[in-house]
Structure 1
Amino acid sequence: MREEGLTAENISPTDTATTYDVAEIMEGLYGNGIIALKGAFSQEWVQQLDEDIRVLYQEALQRPGGAVGRGPKRHYVEIHPEDIRGFLELATHPWVMAVSEAVLGPNYKIVEIGFDIPNPGAVNQPWHRDFPAPADTIVGRRLNSLAFNITTVDVYEDMGPFEVAPGTQWDLPLNFEHEMFPPKESYSRYEQRAQRKMPEIGDISARSALTIHRGTANYSDKMRPTLVLGVDAPGANNAERHDLQITKAYFEKLPESLKQHLTYRLVEELEPIFQAHSIEGLMMGEA
């Protein structure tokens, strides 16, 4: 356990009194499929997150199923909330709560926390979604899940930045392999729409994981760690892909206002997570 206390002290989020506009949030996520907040966290907070992720990554590489491939030189690692020192500050950040409630409703649940590591030598991923689009989106035209991302380093063009094709969260999965990978004849459309995201330390984004996207090639000599927080609306089933464990001792310290937004399994001691959500189509990179 790396959590050293549940008081923010000098690493608390900035601008906690801000009121965020629901219409702007909805417009961004139902339109482009991705929004962001600059300077949401202090450099000190992000530095601690970076330190924790790098230790957790090395630990995950040493155990079977600890790190799952997302392409050559690229991994995803699912972790426990208390593995990082800043989980409370992240989960209760006013922007995270405002975005979650605006899009997913007041009974939203945090179902996943992990991180993505594109290492030096990572190649372009194929365009994809993170999982098949549910009926809520295909038929009901409603988003029922979000992914929040926080970079722990300033991102530059040569570091394999995240690339997204705005508005494609609504694309029907016609001829999609595994309902996630669009056919190659569609690539020109995504490339025309593509936006490369190069966030800085302290920034946070929120996106629909259904918006067509890819990680690009990392030509630098640096890894690009990105924390992922997954949040569901009632009725979404993404919690089935994950195992959000919380120790009873840690749970007792959490505020009641946060407990109601967690999907979790209470344990006496944390158990190693065996990665269950493998995306086979990403393993070879872009063909």
Structure 2
Amino acid sequence: MVTRPIATSLTPTEKNDWEENGFFVRRGFASGPTCRKLWDRAVELARAEVAGESIAPAYVLRETRLDQPGRLGEERASKIFRLHRDDPTFHAGATDPALLAIMADILGPDVDCFLSQFIFKQPGALGQPWHQDAFYFPFDRDLQVGAWLAITEAGAENSPLWVLPGSQTEAVHDAITDPRPDAPFGYVEIVDREMDGAERVLMQPGDLLVFHGHLMHRSTDHEAGEVRAAMVYHYAESATVDRTEQIWGQPSPNNDWMTVLRDRAPV
């Protein structure tokens, strides 16, 4: 089957926001039924994992303080990783032509999706401290792009994201391991910088936050309100060399490099 190159997608405002701030929000990117389908599938996987069923290659990172017997799978899960290759529902999201058009405009004609995670943020869950996603990506080049799709409302009361506009221009900062005893595995915190000028990003279901891998961002503890859920994909240039094993001594359990664009055409 011959596929045609994807048309240009970014608006002038989005281009300016990307260059100046390191992120932009496209409102109403995904439909309600699409968000519901992603939610339902994530819940299905979370419940299967709690029941002892294999969901490989996907795996669940549980929310330490909520991981209690008797709770539903989605109430015990923090994140589900490695969804984009083999699960048809999440693969469709990763290869959505509208999303790939955005990535082509930012990354160029040849693009891979290398990471996917569904995020559950239940009442009682801890927020993730200030960090840069690029901290987790020891690659041979700096530009990776995250696509954060709001599955439920990310409102003032349910741990929305905060971002630091313009911080995408900074190098990857050293970060310390999150010192909280019940912090989920892998949480780190930037402590060598003030976060003056940070902005809260409020989103409705279907809104899409596109952000630079160096952009500093966080979420707060979810103390009240409804569950906040999101689906996140990360993309990079296809020629990117993943040096995780070389630098950390073992490959990342999360990264799975999958080609999605060649010469700006879907693969």
Same fold (TM over 0.5): yes
Distance 1:135 1:88 in 2: 26
- The answer for the alignment partner of 1:147 in structure 2 is 146
Name the aligned partner's letter for residue 110 of structure 1.
Answer: C
Secondary structure of the corresponding residue to residue 116 of structure 1: strand
Name the aligned partner's letter for residue 67 of structure 1.
Answer: V
Instruction: Check the 8 A contact 1:80/1:244 in 2, yes or no.
Output: no
> How far apart are residue 52 of structure 1 and its match?
1.1
Residue 212 of structure 1 is aligned with which of 206, 209, 216?
Answer: 216
Instruction: Check the 8 A contact 2:83/2:90 in 1, yes or no.
Output: no
Distance verdict in 2 for CA 1:125–1:90, change over 3 Å: closer
> How far apart are residue 23 of structure 1 and its match?
5.3
Distance verdict in 2 for CA 1:67–1:85, change over 3 Å: closer
> How far apart are residue 33 of structure 1 and its match?
1.5
- The answer for the alignment partner of 1:120 in structure 2 is 123
Distance 1:229 1:174 in 2: 22
Instruction: Check the 8 A contact 2:161/2:201 in 1, yes or no.
Output: yes
| Residue 181 of structure 1 pairs with residue 189 of structure 2 | yes
| Structure number having the greater strand percentage | 2
Secondary structure of the corresponding residue to residue 266 of structure 2: helix
Secondary structure of the corresponding residue to residue 149 of structure 1: strand
- The answer for the alignment partner of 2:43 in structure 1 is 54
Q: Over aligned residues, Cα RMSD in angstroms?
A: 3.4
Q: Write out per-residue CA displacement over residues 23-61 of structure 1, whole angstroms, 9 at most, x where no aligned residue.
A: 544432332111121111221121111111221222344
Name the aligned partner's letter for residue 230 of structure 1.
Answer: H
- The answer for the alignment partner of 1:202 in structure 2 is 206
Instruction: Check the 8 A contact 1:104/1:232 in 2, yes or no.
Output: yes
Name the aligned partner's letter for residue 211 of structure 1.
Answer: L
Distance 1:243 1:176 in 2: 21
Instruction: Check the 8 A contact 2:149/2:206 in 1, yes or no.
Output: yes
Distance verdict in 2 for CA 1:70–1:104, change over 3 Å: farther
- The answer for the alignment partner of 2:104 in structure 1 is 101
Identity %: 17
Distance 1:236 1:210 in 2: 17
- The answer for the alignment partner of 2:162 in structure 1 is 163
Name the aligned partner's letter for residue 182 of structure 1.
Answer: I
Q: Write out per-residue CA displacement over residues 204-251 of structure 1, whole angstroms, 9 at most, x where no aligned residue.
A: 1211232111111212253211101111112252896335499xxxx9
Output aligned runs, 1:9-48, within 5 Å: 20-21=9-10, 24-48=13-37
Distance 2:88 2:229 in 1: 14
- The answer for the alignment partner of 1:223 in structure 2 is 227
- Structure 1 window deviating more from structure 2 (81-90 vs 111-120): it is 81-90
Q: Write out per-residue CA displacement over residues 178-199 of structure 1, whole angstroms, 9 at most, x where no aligned residue.
A: 7x6322x52xx31x22211221
Distance 1:243 1:123 in 2: 24
Secondary structure of the corresponding residue to residue 102 of structure 1: helix
Distance 2:173 2:118 in 1: 30
> Number of aligned pairs?
224
Distance 1:130 1:174 in 2: 11
Residue 61 of structure 2 is aligned with which of 60, 68, 78?
Answer: 68
Secondary structure of the corresponding residue to residue 160 of structure 1: coil
Secondary structure of the corresponding residue to residue 89 of structure 2: coil
| Structure number having the greater helix percentage | 1
Q: Unmatched 5+ residue regions in structure 2? A: 1-5, 67-76, 178-187, 245-250
> How far apart are residue 173 of structure 1 and its match?
4.3
> How far apart are residue 200 of structure 1 and its match?
0.8
Distance 1:90 1:217 in 2: 28
TM-score using structure 1 length? 0.65
